[in-house]
């Protein structure tokens, strides 16, 4: 079943066309990687889906609702959550408080007034899922880079999204953290739909299933990792030339 359907999406900034008639359909449970060289339009696409940037034309439909013109917070409520390239974690709060705060937009005001002494089971489960249970009462400021990224994912999950949009989740991570993140995304995709923007090709080869390639605001190609990697147009966009076949 299609969860997200984008048709003819165009975004212009003045005379500049950042997205040019994008068509994209995502089915429930997909783990889709979105790649493309700098300036291809990846962030603009995520911004348009989440209501941060207004489309110039085209339609975005999520779970049979049209998102065009909806405010960002209403799109979050509709079930779409995103991470940003810059952190949204509150350093002075504990891991538990950050997750609790992220979940609070779904709470009734009287629930907020009665501040909770212990995390509700759903949030404890989320911390367990991202591997931060041992750090429940740790101040976010003291977390490692990887743990901080996982906290951001936990904060997203606390908002109960059906679709997660992750912007370069393994940027700056070491090998171990990348592996942990890849496994985590694979596990989260068992009951969520995910779009990941990622530049890291090793990570892509290991964890991507379907890949969409953007270039100069258009979809260059789409397919499984092997097909996309061997597409000469993709190699040209990334390398600036089509690699020559080795002579026998
Ligand atoms: N608010 C804006 N005003 C004018 N131009 C913009 C604006 N936002 C993005 N652009 C331009 O749109 C193009 C696409 O930008 P975008 O950030 O979506 O690319 P990207 O694929 O995410 O690149 P990167 O990998 O470098 O983050 C770029 O040329 C960028 O300069």
Question: What pLDDT was estimated at residue 248?
Answer: 43
Last residue of a domain, one of 159, 185, 208: 159
d(CA 234, CA 230): 8
Indicate if ligand 1 lies below 6 Å from the C-beta of 41: yes
Within-domain flag for 116: yes
7 falls within a domain:
yes
Q: How far is the CA of 80 from the centre of ligand 1 (A)?
A: 21
* Ligand 1 proximity of 11 Cβ (cutoff 6 Å): no
Kindly report the average pLDDT of the chain as a whole number. Answer: 89
**CA distances (Å), origin 25, targets 28, 72, 76, 120:** 10, 21, 19, 35
Same domain, yes or no, for 94 and 150? Answer: yes
150, 169: one domain = no
- pLDDT, residue 237, reads 85
Is 114 found in the same domain as 213?
Answer: no
Higher pLDDT, 246 or 242: 242
Least confident of 112-121, 167-176, 192-201: 112-121
240-243: Cβ within 8 A, 24+ apart? none
Q: What percent of the chain has pLDDT over 90?
A: 72
pTM: 0.89
Of the pLDDT bands very low, low, confident and very high (cuts 50, 70, 90), residue 1 is confident
Domain shared by 168 and 75, yes or no: yes
CB 98 within 8 A of CB 156: no
- Do both 74 and 102 map to the same domain? no
Residue 136 tokens, joined: 């429940």
Same domain, 166 and 69: yes
3-state SS assignment for residue 37: coil
248 within domain boundaries: no
Number of the ligand 1 atom closest to the C-alpha atom of 85: 27
Q: Six-digit token pair at 247?
A: 């002579």
CATH number at residue 50: 3.40.50.300
Domain boundary, last residue among 119, 143, 159: 159
Average pLDDT over every residue of 210-235: 93
Q: Bigger pLDDT: 243 or 227? A: 227
In short, whether 13's Cβ falls inside 6 Å of ligand 1 is yes
| Mutation pick for ligand 1 pocket among 43, 84, 216 (CB with most ligand atoms within 8 Å) | 43
Residue 52 lies in a domain: yes
**CB of 15 closer than 6 angstroms to any ligand 1 atom:** no
Same domain, 147 and 165: no
Does residue 64 sit in the same domain as residue 176?
A: yes
Ligand 1 pocket: which of 39, 42, 50, 200 to mutate (most atoms within 8 A of CB)? 39
* 167 and 221 part of one domain: yes
pLDDT of residue 108: 56
Are both 107 and 218 inside the same structural domain?
A: no
Query: What's the number of domains the chain is made of?
Result: 2
**In the numeric block, which tokens belong to residue 90?**
């509150």
Percent residues over pLDDT 70 in the chain: 90
Residue 247 has a pLDDT of 43
If asked whether residues 124 and 21 sit together in one domain, one would say no
Residue 118, domain extent? 89-159
Ligand 1 close to Cβ of residue 43 (< 6 A): yes
**β-sheet bridge partners, residue 26:** 4
Identify the weakest region by mean pLDDT among 50-54, 175-179, 186-190, 233-237: 233-237
In a domain, 84, yes or no: no
Residue 4 resides in a domain: yes
What separation in Å is there between the alpha carbon of 125 and the centre of ligand 1?
37
Residues 73, 169, single domain; the answer is yes
- Cβ pair 231, 35 in contact under 8 A: no
Atom of ligand 1 nearest to the CA of 217: 14
Q: Please write the tens of the pLDDT for every residue from 6-60.
A: 999 999 999 999 999 999 999 999 999 999 998 999 999 999 999 999 999 999 9
**Dist CA 41 CA 17 (whole Å):** 9
Residue 50 to residue 218: CA distance in whole angstroms: 19
* Ligand 1 lined by 85 (C-beta under 6 Å): no
């Amino acid at each position: 079943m299609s969860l997200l359907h984008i048709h003819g999406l165009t975004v212009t900034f003045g005379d500049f066309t950042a997205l040019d008639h994008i068509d994209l359909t995502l089915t429930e449970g997909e783990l889709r990687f979105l790649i493309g060289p700098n300036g291809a339009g990846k962030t603009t696409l995520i911004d348009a889906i989440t209501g941060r940037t207004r489309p110039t034309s085209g339609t975005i439909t999520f779970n049979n609702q049209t998102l065009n013109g909806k405010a960002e917070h209403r799109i979050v409520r509709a079930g779409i959550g995103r991470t940003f390239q810059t952190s949204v974690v509150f350093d002075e709060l504990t891991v538990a408080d950050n997750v609790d705060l992220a979940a609070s937009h779904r709470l009734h005001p009287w629930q907020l007034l009665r501040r909770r002494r212990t995390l509700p089971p759903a949030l404890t489960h989320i911390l367990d899922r991202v591997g931060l249970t041992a750090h429940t009462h740790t101040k976010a400021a003291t977390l490692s880079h990887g743990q901080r990224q996982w906290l951001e994912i936990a904060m997203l999950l606390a908002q109960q999204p059906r679709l997660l949009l992750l912007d370069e989740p393994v940027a700056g991570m070491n090998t171990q953290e990348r592996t942990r993140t890849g496994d985590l995304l694979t596990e989260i995709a068992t009951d969520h739909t995910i779009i990941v923007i990622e530049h890291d090709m090793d990570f892509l080869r290991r964890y991507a299933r379907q890949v969409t390639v953007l270039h100069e605001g258009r979809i260059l190609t789409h397919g499984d990792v092997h097909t996309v990697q061997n597409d000469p147009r993709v190699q040209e966009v990334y390398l600036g030339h089509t690699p020559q076949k080795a002579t026998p």
